[in-house]
Chains A and B, each alone.
Chain A
Amino acid sequence: MAEHQTYEEAKALVFRGLMLLGAITIIEVVVALLAKGHLIHGVNFSHGFGHYVYMLLMIGFSIYKAYFIIFFFMHMAYEVRGLVMSVLLPVLLLVWAIIAFFSEGSYWGRSRENIRQRNEETVKPASGSNTQGYYIIPGTEKQVKLG
């Protein structure tokens, strides 16, 4: 075991952990309330660049909390390297799962919106000679024969 702590040092670490996790949680909630416009009237970060920064900040704080819990409360910092790697490396594969599925989710959203818009469209009969039975699809200039 790499490090030996005395009982007093170990107790101090617990107290520091409590302060740290508590402080981060309070900061998270205060920033969330501020960003959503609950603290200062007229100030909010619910759109655009500010929202992006807000989300990254929240994710960063959460990952730091997770790191502290795993490495110090669960004593991962004092385990053998092989155990650390066999636990953490498989979990890191989830990063790709998150990217892939969120991108897929956005695609479902775009498809659903596309279907909604198409359902509300109405086709117009084409005008001019020799256009009997031809229609114009909205958003295109093409004449198509339906039915």
Chain B
Amino acid sequence: MAETSVDHAHDTHEHVDESQRWEGAVSPFGASYGKIMMWYFLVSDAFTFAGFLIAYGALRFSMPTWPEPDFVFASFPFVDAHWPLIFVTFMTFVLIFSSVTMVRAVQEGHRENQRGVVFWMFLTVLGGATFLGSQAYEWTTLIVKENVTVTQNPFGRHTADGVYLNADGSEAKNADGTPKTFFKDQSYLIHMHDGKPSGLVYHDPAQRGEGMTSHENLKIKYTTGAYAGQVKEAAFGPKAFGALFFFITGFHGFHVFSGVLFLAIIMINAGSGLYAARKNGYEMVEKIGLYWHFVDLVWVFVFLVFYLL
């Protein structure tokens, strides 16, 4: 067993009398100025994200319906299938892996192992870039294919049970002659044609795993609820959804993007021997590591509120 301590960078503070900590001899928190300031920056950043996520929660609670995540986030690259939450699980794993490689880089830094630091930081940069690419795919699908924008949300949910109608007002029929019905809380996507809503796309639970079913116009008739018997047009979902999704995942993605940039800069510096000359256990790697774990931490909560709840 190697007896090398991973914490030896802090050993200079080891034998300080506790009462001396506030006397200016050493940092009262036993950590360097840079690390403490990184922690307080992360506290302030946590408040910014909390503000966004609380706004999301408050607006969601104020709406009678909200788009269902497993219906909205169900596409997967190169596969024409309805796979709820699978792609975003992949994205989550990418971030977990990049967090793990970051911890390894910090540990190799404590051992003053320059090659190890560069190797593990390179894997972390790759993980961050993969996450950004995945997010680009997700955004592209939502914007180009599903027509979600910051002011428009075609993902809605029925507020009561009912039946789909043909353009002439008669009840629409399935291939086997039964009426095309929907149920309360069932999700639909309004299909857009030349910028105008032209029909509905939905997942029929009776045809499990067989993808989506469509309906050519927006006309529906409710059979239960406050509007029973009335003919309506299926409405767009809560408008706030698009703005909240793009701002919050965008702000997180911006953190990932700047993280990747700084990781790359610090990786190049480490490779050039700059931090080895400082002989402080690669503290710069430790600081960018704190930031990078924070980005993963925020994703835990973005994943919770946007995709799981």
Contacts and interface: CB of A to CB of B under 8 A. Distances in A.
Contacts, number: 159
A112 B62 contact: yes
B5 A69 contact: no
Interface of B: 1-7, 10, 13-14, 28-31, 36, 39-40, 42-43, 46-47, 50, 54-55, 57-64, 68, 70, 84-86, 89, 92-93, 96-97, 99-100, 102-104, 107, 111, 185, 205, 208, 289-290, 293-294, 296-297, 300-301, 303-304, 307-309
B4 A105 contact: no
A6 B89 contact: no
A80 B31 contact: yes
28 contacts: A1-B13, A1-B30, A5-B5, A6-B5, A11-B107, A14-B107, A18-B96, A18-B100, A25-B92, A29-B85, A29-B86, A36-B84, A62-B308, A66-B300, A69-B300, A70-B293, A70-B297, A73-B102, A73-B296, A78-B7, A80-B29, A82-B29, A83-B30, A91-B46, A105-B60, A106-B61, A106-B62, A108-B58
A137 interface: no
Given A22-B93, A32-B70, A62-B303, 16 more contacts: A7-B2, A8-B2, A25-B93, A26-B89, A58-B308, A62-B301, A74-B289, A79-B31, A80-B29, A80-B30, A87-B43, A90-B43, A94-B47, A102-B54, A105-B61, A109-B61
A79 B31 CA distance: 8
A106 B303 CA distance: 22
Given A1-B14, A70-B297, A94 B99 contact: no
Contacts of B99: 21, 69, 73
Contact of B309 (A4, A37, A55, A108): A55
A109 B63 contact: yes
A43 to B, nearest CB: 12
The 4 closest A-B pairs by CB, nearest first: A105-B58, A105-B61, A108-B62, A83-B29
Interface string A91-120: 100100110011011111100110000000
Contacts of B29: 79-80, 82-83, 86
